[in-house]
Amino acid sequence: MPRPGFVLDVDKSTPPILFHHGEGFRLEKLPADRTRVIYPGEPLDALDDVDAEIQRALLDPLDMDPLPTLLTPGMKLTIAFDDVSLPLPPMKRPDIRQRVIEAVLDMAATAGVDDVHLIAALALHRRMTEDELRHAVGDRVYDAFAPQGALYNHDAEDPDNLAFLGETKHGEEVEINKRAAESDLLIYVNINIVSMDGGHKSTATGLASYRSIKHHHNVHTMEHSKSFMDRHNSELHHSNWRMGKVIADAGVKVFQIETTINNDTFGDALPMSVLAKREWEWSGKDRVAFVGMQQGLKRLPASTKRKIFQGHRAPYGVTSVSAGAIEPVHEKTLQHCFDQHLVEVEGQTDILTMGLPYICPYNVNSIMNPILVMCLGLGYFFNMYRGKPLVREGGVLIMTHPTPWEFHPVHHPSYIDFFEQVLADTTDPKEIEQKWEKQFAEDEWYRHLYRTSYAYHGVHPFYMWYWGSHALKHLGRVIIVGGDKRAVHRLGFKAASTLNDAFEMAEDVVGRHPTITHLKNPPIVMADVK
Amino acid sequence: MKALRFSRKPGRYVAAGVAGRLAAGKGASVGPLKLVDVDDLKLPADDWVRLRPRLAGICGSDLATIDGHSSRYFEPIVSFPFTPGHEVVGDLEDGSRAVLIPILSCVTRGIDPMCGACSAGRTNRCGRIAFGHLEPGLQTGFCADTGGGWSGELVAHPSQLLPVPEDLSDEAAVMVEPLACAVHAARKVAASGPHQRIAVIGSGTLGLLTIAALRSEDPFGTIIATGKYPHQQGLAKALGADQVVSPRTLPRVVRSLTGAFVLDGGQLTDGVEVVVDCVGSEASLTQALQVVAPGGQIVVVGMPGHTALDLTSLWHRESTISGCYAYTRSDFERALELAQEHDLGRLVSATYPLSRSTEAIEHAANAGARGAVKIAFDLRKPAKAKR
Amino acid sequence: MGHEKGLEKVASSVRAARAKVPPVRALVAQTTFPYRAPTTPLTVEPKPAEQKLLGHYDSGWARKLPARYARFFLTEGVVRPVIAGLAQPERRGLDRLADLDGPVIFAANHHSHLDAGLLITSLPEPHRHQVFAAAAADYFFDTRVKATASALVLNAIPIERTKVGRRSADEAAGLIDDGWSMIIFPEGGRSPDGWGQPFRGGAAYLAIRCGVPVVPIHLAGTGRILPKGKNRPKPQRTVVTFGSPIRADEGERSQAFSDRIESAVAALADEATTDWYSARRRAAAGETPALAGPQSGAWRRTWALTANRKRPSTAKRWPEL
Ligand SMILES: [Zn+2]
Ligand SMILES: [Zn+2]
């Protein structure tokens, strides 16, 4: 029976707590009697027979007819699936997308469907490589469809393959992938690793064009998404839901499939397994493995460490598969997400600490650059709440990450320019949006790289910054422990060499003897703040 | 009279070349530059006057000579032994201050009729710099007969003097000569304008002054400057650059500003209309070719010396490289105004007495890294030597 | 005192004998750790004796342990490199086995003596070293040398070709119940002409009896390396395609289940030569080409067999300069 997540009150006997620190770790002794640590729940039990559950979901969907009855020989069928940004870290083979897609295609084969396209719904993310596509959909599907050009990446900048479907009542333009829009049935296969994913956002964002996405990926929306992990209080989701209605009204029939996975990120093989254990339960073997890993990492060059960590594949168990109409499916999925992630927390704190790991949604097989560090900390982790933010308004966020001044030249070209030019000018999201976004978004070279190479869209670093705008507005100060000083300053934050220094610096902002809360993520934990 | 004297001593010159290669400015300690007592200079003609330097700057071309890596091109247009120093503000015998316009054109050489360039007022292009009644020398500070700024006294032709207004500090006045170079370059750029975007490579003295001059000559274009060190970046911005970037990132920034594409190897498909290269090294010229727009122009203000360049892109994209040397009297007059306007005295970071020339030259050679811009010799009163 | 003297004598002779010993002892005394066991420091609590692992293991396996080690080294050290050299196998569909735990029956089509080796080395852990092969008794076990080699290398047990005999069936079922997986070629023998032969019921029977799933496997290409009747192998590319595990339905007869296994292998054959989705389409429409090939004259069978074979051109496309 997996134990749920909980809040630990740190006392004098609490051992040092493990903080993620990029491609490394820190053990930090936290001050007793005023510190809380929010521990994630242990992995929920996985489904025994995933394939049977997939069959069940497809044959008995929510508010829709069984999938086989929706499939007819002459139809146009499009299967869209989540891109390389999900899940994190990537999943051990077989990926759940592959299992679902194979089951769907088996039914399509039985029904005699010939015209099938598979589209990686990557919005403005970089295109997936052949290896990554093979990992996601499996070799069988890849070999059957890719050679004929029926398995490909979505292109949000291809004027010939986008369909304008109308505007929402708020004047938001809805433009999505033409093939998806013109299909008799669009099946969207999700991996809902956090509660932000899925729902109408799948199609309205994943398959949309820049013209459409910019209506909700902006500072105003993000400042009013409190948090974007809580869809009922997220302007980001309200906008996507409005667009979902336009898509439905335009006659696009979507068969939504959402899947959830458990917290089994690090498996049970040492040394990674120690990362999922609670510190006071580390056995001798665990400690030896951890020390060995620390010593090893200390001696390795950064690029080797990166390679090792990026090679990790998580043995996630699948906890649910739901299919059918978007809204009921998503409600069910949210329940499964919350069951795994949500931990009740009493009240806010002065200082929020977090250890940032080596990976975020936008550096799979890549480099976590300073902008992504900001986005992971102030975007994703900060927003891991329901109710109120974990840290009070004007409080301090302290995160640990080496934050090297390093960029992946192929994946993140516009990030480099954003860092060198835009952030050197200002770090204010509103000013950045108004003064710089258009130039980057419409840069033909970025467009070219996005469409033909493996680069994120030119505007993507802006979105990363907007993702953190709610936190930027809320927080009094951000401190990065162990971060490269120049890079941290460019982000507009403060660098500290130790956690204790950071606490000292934070006291300037929040006063003496502040309360501290540590969000022990990953594996994923989301605070339900009362 | 004390003077720093540069004499023709091939052995020492070679030694300076070796030392200069090891560390910038090291040529001063082993090379042919010596502090010596010299006799008073003879006036080359009756109308010449004596100028007692107050401040005399150390220029990049001086450093190249001292470190033994200036081009052999100069050999016929200098005469030994000479006293360096062409950025000079000094006292005239009547007690008034003047800035030296160091070019030794036809007038100063007693050549009549003047060469074509001089008749047209373009004294910087004078064709007689090795002839006439003076020893060869393109400027004061490279000529055996005139003396130079790094001494107690030099001789100058009245046409070489520009009176300094009362309220202009010596520090600002010593910046007028390099600023005149910058004005000359800026006027050249402006004459071919207007331009949308101009890149200035280098934020040493010349780079910074060029930014200031460009800003006043061509107020509408976007000026992108490169600056290696924080104080250079700050000054570049203060003097009118719209964007200051590290030298390494210039191509990225130009690409992003112009929306250009990039070919393998780094050549941009588009670029800025004008690149003003205030460094003149192989690296800076290569970068200039990389970021200049097709049909654009590269203006070389920094002294380049012997350089290897791949000029295929110059040919293919029909861009031009043009030199930009020195100034005319009118440039000097404009520079005098600008020096006042921009409070350029602040660019003089440190001054040394002649007795500490080795330190001074080392400081000048590493000015950027040591947070400095212009280093000068202070000849005002010996007591000031204790800094 | 004579008595004492006698003792003295004995003692002195013992001393004398001892005197001859010291060199040896000195030699022994000179050796140090790690050549002799370390001593425990006084202040340290000695480590409790380690629990004997073997005590936790089934004694039946324990007796086979040396053989298992030997087989491990033979598989990894001899068979794998040989197979890699001869067959250059490409393995597909291993992901379909991700959910398997416990014993299974691997049922494959059969072209060549290489099949068993290729198959064993293609199996994923933990099955690879926890598997036995059902081998034709009349071929693999007819002489003592062959029988020993088969048992050691393939962990083979003898199975009669013609009918599943009681004894061999019991032995196989016993091993499966003990947690071993089985490799079987249900065709009962190698293909004589490159096309398949009808599947026999043994695999289905054992799967139903032991309640384990069957993994259908298609091997392509081995027939051209070492076809029946050839002794010298010719290296060729091979493809091993693993199918999804299938289980007998409630109350399913072994012949029906056997037919399903055969069509699963046939569908894999189709998948290996075309692509997965087309194969699924044909399977759904009941149009999967039969393993046994067209029921027609010999030449047409060969003709059809070679139709989609890609023969690498030996002619140089461009002169080497
Ligand atoms: Zn000069
Ligand atoms: Zn002349």
Residue B359's domain comprises: 2-164+343-384
- ∠ CA A417-A418-A424, nearest 5°, is 100
Residues of chain A contacting residue B242, judged by C-beta atoms under 8 Å apart: none
Please give the DSSP secondary-structure letter assigned to residue B374.
E
- Angle, helices B205-217 vs B230-238, to 10°: value is 20
Q: Which of A177, A201, A248 is nearest to A82 (CA)?
A: A201
pLDDT in tens, A131-187: 999 999 998 899 889 988 999 999 999 999 999 999 999 999 999 999 999 999 999
Closest ligand to residue B124's CA: 2
Q: What is the pLDDT of residue C320?
A: 42
Query: Which residues of chain C make contact with A139, given a CB cutoff of 8 A?
Result: 92-93, 95
d(CA A198, CA A190): 6
How confident is the model at residue C227, as a pLDDT?
A: 67
Q: Is the pLDDT of residue C307 over 60?
A: no
| B103 and B189 housed in the same domain | no
**Looking at the predicted structure, is the pLDDT value of residue C52 above 50?**
no
- Which residue among A50, A111, A143 sits closest to C276, beta carbon to beta carbon? A143
What pLDDT sits at residue C41? 55
Q: Place C16 in a pLDDT band, splitting at 50, 70 and 90.
A: low
A141 touches chain C (CB under 8 A): yes
User: At B289, which CATH number?
Assistant: 3.40.50.720
Distance separating alpha carbons of residues B320 and A41, to the nearest angstrom: 67
Which residues are found with C-beta within 5 Å of the ion, ligand 2? B 105-106, 115, 118, 126, 128
For residue A20, what pLDDT is reported? 96
- B253·A416 Cβ contact <8 A: no
Determine contact: C285 vs chain A, CB below 8 A: yes
What is the per-residue pLDDT for B56? 97
The pLDDT, as a whole number, for residue B322 is 96
Mean pLDDT of C239-256: 88
d(CA A358, CA C137): 57
pLDDT for the residue numbered C165: 64
Burial of A163 (0-12, 13-18, 19+ CB in 10 A): middle
The answer to whether A161 faces chain B, any CB pair under 8 Å, is no
**Which pTM does this prediction carry?**
0.78
Residue A450: per-residue pLDDT: 97
Tell me the CA–centroid distance for residue B68 and ligand 1, in Å.
Answer: 16
Residues of C in contact with A112 (CB under 8 A): 281, 284-285
Q: Which range, of A263-267, B315-319, C5-9, averages the lowest pLDDT?
A: C5-9
- Mark whether B232 and B301 lie in a shared domain: yes
Quote the CA–CA distance of A406 and A403 in Å, as a whole number: 8
What percent of chain C clears pLDDT 90, i.e. is strictly above it? Answer: 5
> What does the alpha-carbon distance between residue A471 and residue A228 come to, in Å, rounded to a whole number?
11
Residue B336 in domain? no
At residue A417, the pLDDT reads: 93
Asked if A417 and B253 come within 8 Å (Cβ–Cβ), the reply is: yes
Name the residue in chain A with its Cα closest to that of C100. A49
C-beta atoms of A144 and C284 within 8 A: no
Q: What percent of chain B has pLDDT over 90?
A: 81
Mode of pairing for the β-strands spanning B222-226 and B197-201: parallel
Q: What is the pLDDT of residue C3?
A: 56
Number of domains making up chain B: 2
Distance B97 CA to ligand 2 centre (A): 26
Predicted pLDDT at B339:
94
Confidence check: pLDDT of C56 > 50: no
CA B132 – ligand 2 centroid, Å: 10
Other Cβ atoms closer than 10 A to A166: 14
Distance B118 CA to ligand 2 centre (A): 4
Q: Is the pLDDT of residue C28 over 80?
A: no
Query: What pLDDT is stored for residue C29 in this prediction?
Result: 56
Is residue A389 a contact partner of residue A379, using CB atoms and an 8 Å limit? no
> Does a structural domain hold residue B335?
no
More confident residue, A85 or C57: A85
Beta carbons of A414 and A372 less than 8 angstroms apart: no
DSSP per residue over C213-266, as a string?
A: -EEEEEEESHHHHS-TT--S-----EEEEEPPPB-PPTT--HHHHHHHHHHHHH
Q: How close is the nearest chain B Cα to the Cα of A417, in Å?
A: 7
Which of A114, A34, A128 minimizes the C-alpha distance to A76?
A114
* pLDDT: which is higher, C112 or A391: A391
**Per-residue pLDDT reduced to its tens digit, C178-188:** 888 888 888 87
Query: To the nearest whole number, what is the mean pLDDT of chain A?
Result: 95
3-state SS assignment for residue B151: strand
* pLDDT band of B385, cuts 50, 70, 90: very low
Task: Flag if A94 and C277 touch (Cβ within 8 Å).
Answer: no
pLDDT at C233: 77
- Residue A182 has a pLDDT of 96
Asked if A445's CB is within 8 angstroms of B261's CB, the reply is yes
Radius of gyration of chain A (CA): 22
For domain C54-294, the CATH class is: alpha beta
Q: Name the CATH code of domain A6-42+341-529 (choices 3.90.226.30, 3.40.470.10, 3.40.50.2000, 3.30.1360.30).
A: 3.90.226.30
Q: Does A419 touch chain B (CB under 8 A)?
A: no
Whether the predicted pLDDT of C50 surpasses 50? no
Average pLDDT for chain B = 92
**pLDDT band (50, 70, 90) for residue B9:** confident
Q: Please say if the pLDDT value at position C62 is more than 50.
A: no
- CA-to-CA distance for B268 and A443, rounded, in angstroms? 14
Nearest to A105 among C96, C99, C280 (CB): C280
CATH number for the domain harbouring residue B110: 3.90.180.10
Confirm or reject contact between A420 and chain B (CB < 8 A).
yes
Please tell me the predicted confidence (pLDDT) of residue C315. 42
Q: Are residues B181 and B64 located together in one domain of the fold?
A: no
Write down the domain spans for chain A. Answer: 6-42+341-529, 50-261
The closest CB to that of A445, out of B243, B246, B262, belongs to: B262
Residues B6 and B146 in one domain: yes
Q: Where are the domains of chain C?
A: 1-38, 54-294
Predicted local distance difference test score (pLDDT) of residue C279? 87
In the numeric block, which tokens belong to residue B321?
């490289």
Structure tokens at B381: 């009163």
pLDDT of residue B158: 96
Q: Please state which of the ranges A36-50, A65-79, A418-432, C122-136 shows the lowest mean pLDDT.
A: C122-136
Q: Same domain for B212 and B111?
A: no
A283-287, A400-404, B24-28, B95-99: least confident range: B24-28
- Mean pLDDT to the nearest integer, A461-484: 97
For A316-331, the pLDDT digits (tens) are 999 999 999 999 999 9
pLDDT over threshold 60, residue C61: no
Between CA A517 and CA A352 the distance in angstroms is 5
Its CATH class, for the domain covering A50-261, is alpha beta
User: Mind listing the pLDDT tens digit for each residue in C73-88?
Assistant: 777 788 888 888 888 8
Q: Answer whether C276 sits within 8 Å of A51, measured CB to CB.
A: no
Within a 13 Å sphere around the CA of B9, how many CA atoms are in the beta-carbon half? Answer: 14
User: Sorting pLDDT into bands at 50, 70 and 90, what band is A54?
Assistant: very high
Give the tens place of pLDDT for each residue, B112-137: 999 999 999 999 999 999 999 999 99
Residue C156, pLDDT > 70, answer yes
C247 touches chain A (CB under 8 A): no
- Is residue C58's pLDDT more than 90? no
The confidence score (pLDDT) of residue C194 equals 67
In the numeric block, which tokens belong to residue A19? 């903080």
End-to-end Cα separation, chain C, in angstroms: 109
Q: Which residues of A are less than 8 Å from B246 in CB distance? A: 420
Instruction: Please give the full DSSP string across C73-118, using - where no structure is assigned.
Output: HHIIIIIHHHHHHHH-EEEE-GGGGTT--S--EEEE----THHHHH
Q: Which of A200-204, B287-291, B358-362 has the lowest mean pLDDT?
A: B358-362
* The predicted structure's pLDDT at residue B368: 92
Q: Taking CB atoms and an 8 Å cutoff, what residues of chain A touch C280?
A: 105-106, 109-110
Mean pLDDT of chain C: 72
B and A interact (at least 3 Cβ pairs within 8 A): yes
